[in-house]
């Protein structure tokens, strides 16, 4: 414990320098930091501003431009600077922001959206359908993060009506409309990301790169009254964020389960459920090479009985306790808890049944306790991102548990520069989770080479269901088809089907919050411990 505090207090000097200008020569002692915490708590605002600590990866390198990722991935959020046409509701169904109505043609090739007529950008100019069309045509051509190949073009029919003409039917288009912020055609240019103009709840007042961003409430916002008038987001590593809370320098700070056994005077630990899942792929074809001579496939994991045994032979609840101190839920699918989730993905831990599956499939235990079949050893190398301690811990737990099953696992930390390619032949510990069924599609649907993109796997029936889901005339119908892609009673990607991925845990997102800060109710957080926490920061209050 003493060594950990030395590390934290060194980081504290960094965060104090950020707020007060103190240098490392003036770093406080533990007692001083605790005293400052008490003073900070006593002077906590009963007003309308808040300081939130996020991780460095949350800072948008390309700025606040939707064409370059703002609003997607790590930056998923409700309308903050820019407004969006739609939003996702707490149950992950679709609601409206700028839109007041939307209609889709019977063939799914045309979406017609009506928007509000009372919205202005923060420079005073009105937001019209022309701005919406301009935004979507721009992101289609320039987006480096999202796929817009399904969109042919967007056109403004009048000031309040925009038409999206699709190149292919895309039933889940409303989920895309929930992450694309509308930019002003008249004020958009190469430096827009650093000087954004929007119509959302906040405007960006100041950005000190690598340190902080200050947002101020938009006085002309068309929605519900904004209660938190100023939001400052500071970027720091986990240890520094913890130290900043200890020193009373932030009001809310992201944290990890490793800190959950600590306590900070004047702060409480908040926990929010997520679909931020962790799991690993199991290459589902025999070992070989691709057209460029790279390794692909795995002779051990290509046996579906092996994959089924692994899926029920892992104790997910034990992992939750061992790795994240119980802050999470077992994961069985990449779309747990979503409207399109198929509950047949859920399995019960059964070590003896897992052993029986392997025995029946011919995987006999050798003298060293490791199974073998026709000269193939029951073994694989499990990769994890070298910089991610959580995934390393999950890989180690997987290694320990599968040894009991008679499977030998070695673990290796690697960089992302090689991880994607090596995952074609070796399992890799991944992190996924999004508010869209496209997450399912992107992982399991085959590409032009006849195999899925992130791990070699293919099932024509699964592909057909997902293609039909995208071509469906309404979301409810598409949900049913997404569920069939997971399991239709005969085939799919769940336990009785192909099971080409093993899902382990959905991690809770944890935060240290001042006792008197009331954080508004959160919906399920997606992958990324970042901007999702401030989805409704405008409704936070001090008590």
Cα distances from 422 to residues 254, 278, 281, 379, 419, in angstroms, run 32, 18, 11, 16, 5
Judge if 25 and 105 occupy the same domain: no
Judge if 140 and 176 occupy the same domain: yes
Judge if 78 and 224 occupy the same domain: no
Task: Look at residue 395 and tell me if it is in a domain.
Answer: yes
DSSP per-residue string spanning 67-87: GGTTTSGGG--SSSSS--SEE
Grouping H, G, I as helix, E, B as strand and the rest as coil, residue 110 is strand
Judge if 299 and 417 occupy the same domain: yes
Judge if 337 and 410 occupy the same domain: yes
**In this predicted structure, which of 66-70, 382-386, 401-405 has the lowest mean pLDDT?**
66-70
Judge if 258 and 139 occupy the same domain: no
Handedness of CA 400, 402, 405, 409 (dihedral sign): negative
Task: Look at residue 529 and tell me if it is in a domain.
Answer: no
Task: Look at residue 530 and tell me if it is in a domain.
Answer: no
DSSP state of 382: E
pLDDT class of 147 with cuts at 50, 70, 90: confident
Report the candidate in 91, 75, 42, 7 with the shortest Cα–Cα distance to residue 533.
Answer: 75
Question: Domain boundary residue among 144, 171, 195?
Answer: 195
Judge if 477 and 335 occupy the same domain: yes
- The gap from C-alpha 353 to its chain's centroid, in whole angstroms, comes to 33
Three-state SS annotation for 434-448: CCCCHHHHHHHCECC
CA–CA separation, 391 and 525 (whole Å): 19
Task: Look at residue 450 and tell me if it is in a domain.
Answer: yes
Gyration radius from the chain CA atoms:
25
pLDDT class of 44 with cuts at 50, 70, 90: very low
- Rounded to the nearest integer, the mean pLDDT of the chain is 90
CA–CA separation, 308 and 301 (whole Å): 10
**In this predicted structure, which of 116-120, 146-150, 161-165, 376-380 has the lowest mean pLDDT?**
146-150
In the sheet with 161-166, reading across from the earlier edge strand, the strands are: 99-104, 110-115, 161-166, 151-158
Judge if 400 and 431 occupy the same domain: yes
Half-sphere exposure of 120 (CA within 13 A, CB side): 7
Average pLDDT over every residue of 258-280? 96
Whole-prediction pTM value? 0.87
Half-sphere exposure of 36 (CA within 13 A, CB side): 20
pLDDT class of 92 with cuts at 50, 70, 90: confident
Question: Tokens standing for 314?
Answer: 């892992």
DSSP state of 65: -
CA–CA separation, 131 and 23 (whole Å): 46
Contact 459, 484 (CB under 8 A): no
pLDDT digits (tens, 9 = 90+) for 505-522: 999 999 999 999 999 999
pLDDT class of 15 with cuts at 50, 70, 90: very low
Judge if 265 and 167 occupy the same domain: no
CA–CA separation, 335 and 478 (whole Å): 14
Task: Look at residue 528 and tell me if it is in a domain.
Answer: no
Residue 35 has pLDDT above 60, yes or no: no
Report the candidate in 164, 436, 399, 427 with the shortest Cα–Cα distance to residue 301.
Answer: 427
Backbone angles phi, psi at 431, to 5 degrees: -130, 125
Judge if 357 and 408 occupy the same domain: yes
Does residue 36 or residue 110 have the better pLDDT?
Answer: 110
Total of domains in the chain: 3
Give the domain extent around 40: 2-59+209-272
pLDDT digits (tens, 9 = 90+) for 433-492: 988 999 999 999 999 999 999 999 999 999 999 999 999 988 999 999 999 999 999 999
Domain of 285, CATH number, reads: 3.10.105.10
Contact 115, 231 (CB under 8 A): no
Residue 46 has pLDDT above 90, yes or no: no
Strand ranges inside 132-245, DSSP E: 151-158, 161-166, 202-208, 212-217, 230-235
CA–CA separation, 12 and 9 (whole Å): 5
Judge if 112 and 159 occupy the same domain: yes
Contact 540, 50 (CB under 8 A): yes
Contact 407, 518 (CB under 8 A): no
Judge if 223 and 328 occupy the same domain: no
Average pLDDT over every residue of 224-229? 96
């Amino acid at each position: 414990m003493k060594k950990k505090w030395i590390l934290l207090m060194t980081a504290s000097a960094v965060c104090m320098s950020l707020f007060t200008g103190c240098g490392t020569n003036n770093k406080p002692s533990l007692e001083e930091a605790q005293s400052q915490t008490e003073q900070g708590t006593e002077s906590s605002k009963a007003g309308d501003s808040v300081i939130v600590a996020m991780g460095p990866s949350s800072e948008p390198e390309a700025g606040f431009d939707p064409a370059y990722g703002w609003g997607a991935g790590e930056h998923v959020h409700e309308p903050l600077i820019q407004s969006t046409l739609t939003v996702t509701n707490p149950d992950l169904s679709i609601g409206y922001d700028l839109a007041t109505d939307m209609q889709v043609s019977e063939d799914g090739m045309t979406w017609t959206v009506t928007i509000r007529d009372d919205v202005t950008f923060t420079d005073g100019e009105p937001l019209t359908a022309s701005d919406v069309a301009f935004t979507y045509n721009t992101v289609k051509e320039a987006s480096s993060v999202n796929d817009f190949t399904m969109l042919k073009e967007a056109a403004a029919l009048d000031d309040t009506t925009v038409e999206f003409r699709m190149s292919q039917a895309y039933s889940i288009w409303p989920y895309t409309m929930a992450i694309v912020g509308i930019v002003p055609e008249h004020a958009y240019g190469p430096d827009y990301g650093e000087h954004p103009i929007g119509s959302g709840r906040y405007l960006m007042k100041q950005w000190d790169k690598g340190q902080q961003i200050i947002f101020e409430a938009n006085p002309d916002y068309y929605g519900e009254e904004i209660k938190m008038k100023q939001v400052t987001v500071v970027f720091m590593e986990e240890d520094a964020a913890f130290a900043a809370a200890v020193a009373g320098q932030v009001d809310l700070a992201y944290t990890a389960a490793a800190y959950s056994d600590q306590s900070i005077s004047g702060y409480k630990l908040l926990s929010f459920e997520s679909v931020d899942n962790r799991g690993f792929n199991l290459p589902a074809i025999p070992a070989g090479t691709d057209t460029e001579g790279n390794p692909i496939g795995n002779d051990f994991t290509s046996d579906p009985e092996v994959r089924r045994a692994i899926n029920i032979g892992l104790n997910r609840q034990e992992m939750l306790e061992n790795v994240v101190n119980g802050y999470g839920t077992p994961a069985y699918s990449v779309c747990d808890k979503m409207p399109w989730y198929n509950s047949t993905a859920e399995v019960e831990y059964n070590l003896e049944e897992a052993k029986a599956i392997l025995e029946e499939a011919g995987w006999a235990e050798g003298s060293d306790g490791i199974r073998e079949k026709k000269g193939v050893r029951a073994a694989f190398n499990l990769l994890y991102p070298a910089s991610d301690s959580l995934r390393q811990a999950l890989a180690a737990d997987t290694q320990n548990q599968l040894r009991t099953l008679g499977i030998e696992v070695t673990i290796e930390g690697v960089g992302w520069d090689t991880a994607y390619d090596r995952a074609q032949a070796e399992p890799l510990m991944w992190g996924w989770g999004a508010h869209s069924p496209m997450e399912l599609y992107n992982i399991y649907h085959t590409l032009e080479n006849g195999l899925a993109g992130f791990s070699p796997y293919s099932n024509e029936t699964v592909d057909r269901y997902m293609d039909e889901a995208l071509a469906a005339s309404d979301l409810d119908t598409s949900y049913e088809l997404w569920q069939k892609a997971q399991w239709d009673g005969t085939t799919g990607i769940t336990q009785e089907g192909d099971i080409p991925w093993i899902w382990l845990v959905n991690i809770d997102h944890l935060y240290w919050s001042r006792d008197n800060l009331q954080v508004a109710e959160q919906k399920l957080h997606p992958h990324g411990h970042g901007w999702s926490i401030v989805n409704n920061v405008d409704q936070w209050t001090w008590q």
